[in-house]
Amino acid sequence: MNYVFSLSEKDIPAIIEYYQDYLVPATQEHIMYIFQSPDFTVTLFRSKKVMIQGKTAIEEYLMWSEILGFVPEINEKESKIEVRHNSDPVFLKEDTIGSDEVGTGDFYGPVVVCAAYVRASDYNYLENLGVRDSKKLTDEMIKNIGEELVKKISYSVLVVNNVKYNELTDKGFNMNKIKAYLHNHAIRKMVAKLKGDFKRVVIDEFCSKENYFAYLKDEISYQDITFVQKAEDKYQSVAVASIIARFTFLDEMNKLNEKAGLVLPFGASQSVDLIGKRIALEKGFSIFREISKINFKNMQKIKEMMK
């Protein structure tokens, strides 16, 4: 069965970023990108429609309906396999280390990865605190919950600022390789700290397991990892990690706002380009290496606006 939905311009980078490790050549003019794995094929058309096919197509479709906020169109038979859609998550109560990242789709600001340890005994406290995937919380809620979590939870958070990010991409690192390095480092720190006192390590899957370890082939890597799509809805440790990562990201953005002399927008939409033009006029282009990810297409758009 095929599942089709439409995108806005600002949502296109999210699809490309998420599936970039599965990219295959597109042979037809009306197709922008094709992403193919053993379990699904995702086709992004120039009309801004997305078609998902394959044995796990419905899971991918339901995931994007949650992320993008559209109502999925599924028949009665298909709805029986849907697990907790548009409702509060049911977390698996285990002692786990969960790892998640933020900032990867934002032109301005760093990439932040957090690995957090949650015990089964923490679950009621975290539920009462309102812990869930950070994408389902307002930034004000993130700040309030984050302030409590950093006092209560054992975690490791890593920040790649824009200067370091741009140095890495200059050396040929792509976003997923950077994320793999950060996840691995944060997880190894937590594993060493806990000395085996946990049941599993979970990553919110951003690439295939094979590609993840391929990125780390020259590094000492922690191997016993469970890769789960939408892990922040299944493992409370990942939800906690996502909140602490976002909490840290917002703090870093406040510092960048002071450097830029204005409030920098999130994401990679047209408003990002317009603010970029203003920054370029007032401060020149050199500041972008300090406040933005210059390999994003936004950088070229800003330059074109200045001609």
Quick one: how far is CA 135 from the chain centroid? 9
User: Residue 29, SS3?
Assistant: coil
Average pLDDT, the chain: 89
Name the residue among 3, 24, 145 with its Cα closest to residue 71: 3
Backbone φ and ψ of 112, nearest 5°: -125, 130
Q: What is the pLDDT of residues 199-221, one digit of tens each?
A: 999 998 888 899 999 999 999 99
Residue 202, token pair as written in the block: 């979970």
Q: What is the pLDDT of residues 12-64, one digit of tens each?
A: 988 887 888 889 998 899 999 999 988 899 999 999 999 999 988 887 888 78
Tell me which residue has tokens 């793999």: 180
Q: What is the pLDDT of residues 138-179, one digit of tens each?
A: 889 999 999 999 999 999 999 999 999 999 999 999 999 999
pTM: 0.72
Name the residue among 279, 246, 30 with its Cα closest to residue 131: 246
Give the bridge partners for 200, in sequence order: 96
Please tell me the predicted confidence (pLDDT) of residue 203. Answer: 95
Q: Is the pLDDT of residue 88 over 80?
A: no
Instruction: Kindly list the structural domains of the chain, giving each domain's residue range(s) and its CATH number in brackets, ordered by start.
Output: 3-79 (3.30.310.10), 96-256 (3.30.420.10)
Please tell me the predicted confidence (pLDDT) of residue 90. Answer: 55
CB 113 within 8 A of CB 157: yes
Please tell me the predicted confidence (pLDDT) of residue 68. Answer: 80
Percentage of the chain beyond pLDDT 70 is 93
Count CB atoms within 10 A of the CB of residue 7: 19
What are the C-alpha distances in Å from 247 to residues 59, 101, 199? Answer: 29, 11, 26
| Cα maximum dimension of the chain | 59
The sheet that has 3-6: what strands, in order across it?
A: 3-6, 49-53, 41-45, 31-36, 23-24
**Angstrom distance (rounded) from CA 91 to CA 236:** 6
Please tell me the predicted confidence (pLDDT) of residue 107. Answer: 96
